[in-house]
Structure 1
Amino acid sequence: MENLVEALVEHSLSAQNLAVGYDQREIIHDLSVRIPTGKITVIVGANACGKSTLLKTLARLLKPSKGTVTLDGKSIQQVSTREVATKLGLLPQSPTAPEGITVADLVGRGRYPHQGWIRQWTKADDEAVAGAMESTDVLEIADRPIDELSGGQRQRVWIAMALAQETDILLLDEPTTFLDLTHQFEVLDLLVDLNQRDDRTIVLVLHDLNQACRFGDHLIAMKNGDIVCEGKPSEVITEAVVQDVFGLAVKVIPDPVAGSPMVVPIGRHTTRQDETPSPVANPAAKALAASAAANGVCRPTDR
C-alpha cells in the first residue's frame, strides 16, 4: 500500500479507572490500561469477558460510567468527533452498510474525516481508497453492491474502509471473522506491514491464541471485566494463565515456524496413547467383564 500516508504522527491512547456496562449491568470494573504506541496489541479472553466493551470504550462508542479514556493526554469525550476520526479508526464486530451501496463507495467513506468545507475530494483520496482495496484484495469487486458479497468478502471490504481512513491508531474487533485461513493470515500480515512501515498503533480482539501470539507484540488477557495480565506473548500465554482465563487445560510449546508460544489444548478425547488401551484396563471394566463371563454373556470383542 504505497499510497497510504508516508509519515504518521504518534498518538497516545490510554484509560484510567474505567467502569463500563449496559442496562445497569457493569461489564468492566475499575480498569486501567495504556496502549503501547507503535505496537500491535491483541486483547484475548473468553466470550463475554469485556474485550469488545473495552475496545468500544477506547473508540468512544461507549461512555464509561466512571473513569476516563485519554487520547493524546486529553479526555476523548472532550475531543471533537472529526478530530477523533482522523486519529483513530475502528472496525466494529458487526458493521452494517446502507442498502445498495457499492464496495468502492463504502471504502470511500473512510475518507470522510479528511473532508471539509474547504478541502474536497482529491487525487490523494483516490489513491488511498485504491490502495486500501488492493491490499485487501477487493479491487476487482469495486463496483459490486455489498449486499451481493459473501461474508468473507464483506469483512475484507470493511477492513479496506478502515485502512482508507489512514489513522495512526487502528482498532479492530475480531477482523478475521468470516475469513478462511488464507485470508485470515493475509489480513494479519497486512496489519504487521502497516505497523512496521508506519509505526502504526494497532489494537485488535482475536479468539485464536496462536495467531495472537504470532502477530501480537503486546497481549492483554481479560477475565470478568478485568485485566488478568499483560505483556509479551511469552509472558502472558502460559499454561496457568490459559487455565485461569479460559478454564482450559493446555500445553504451551514453541511455535515451530515463529518461535512464539503455541497453545495445544489437551481435551478429554484427543490425548495420544502410545499403546492401545485394553478394554478391561480399569477396575470398573474388569468387574463388568468378570460378571459377564460368569453369566455366560459374550463380550462385544468375542463376537
Structure 2
Amino acid sequence: MTQLISSLDEISAPYDVLYCDLWGCLHNGKALFPEAVSALQAFRRKGGAVVLLTNAPRTHHAVRKRLDAMGLPLDAYDVIAASGDATQEAMLTGAAGRKLWHLGPGKDDDLFEIIPEWLRDQPPIERVELQEAEGIICTGPFDEFNETPDDYRARFLLAKTKGLTMLNANPDLVVDFGATQIFCAGALAELYAEMGGEVLSFGKPHPPIYDFARRQLAAKGITCDTNSVLAIGDGVRTDIRGARGEGIDAVFVTGGLEAHRFGDDPATPDMGLLTAWLEAEDLHPRYSMGRLR
C-alpha cells in the first residue's frame, strides 16, 4: 500500500536524484507552484540533484526558455530531459525516414532548428505535406485548444494506407492548462495505433527519455544507482508506470490530473479512495502526496 506523505522532506534522505515531472507537479502551464519550487530547492541544498523530466514535445532548450519566462529559479534543478529530446534523436537518425509530415503547432519547431552537435552530420530532415511523407512526427494537434483526435481520422487513414510510422513526441493524452484540459500528442498517437498505424514513443513511460536523462546527468558529472533515484509525477500511465519500468521508487502527486478521484480537496486525498483506485489500476507507488511541497 502506498505511504501518504505531506512533504518531500519526510522521505528524501535516501535519495540522491529526483526525476520531477513539470505539468501538474511544478506548474499548471500558466504559473509555478511556489511550494513545489521550494521543495526542489531544499533537496538540492542537501546535496541532491534534480532532473526536470517532462513529456514536453520540445527540446530541453525550449523547455528551459519557458521555465525562465515563468520565473523558475536556476537553483531548483540541475538538468532538463524532455520527450522532445529523445524524439529528436530518433528523428534525426532516420527512424521514420527523412521526409516527415509534422503534425503539431509551430511552437515545436525547435525540434528541427536546434540540432545537437553530435547529430549535425546526419542528412537533413525535410518537412513535407502528408501526401509526400515517408513518416510522421507528432507533437500534438495543430490547434490544441479546439481540435480533438477525431478531427484527424481521415488523415490518419491515408497515413496508415501509406504505411507511415509515427514518432510520438509526447505520450501524455491530456494536460491541464490552467483550468482547461487540452489534448496532447499521445491522444493522437493512441488513435493512430487503434487504426492500425505504427507508433514509436519516446517520453515517459518509455525507456528513451530515461536514457537521455542519465546522459544529461553524466555530462554534469553526476552518477547514481537505481536505488538512489526517486520519481515524482501526477501521471499514472507515464510517471508511475515509467518509474516501475525503470525499477525506481515513485511519489504519485494525487492533486494533478487525477485529483477528481480522491475527494474534494486536491491537497489532501482521501486515503480510502486513493488505495482502492491504485489497487484497481495495479499501480503501487511507494509514496503519494496531494501536492509537491
> TM class by shorter-chain length?
0.3 to 0.5
> Which has the higher Rg, Structure 1 or Structure 2?
1
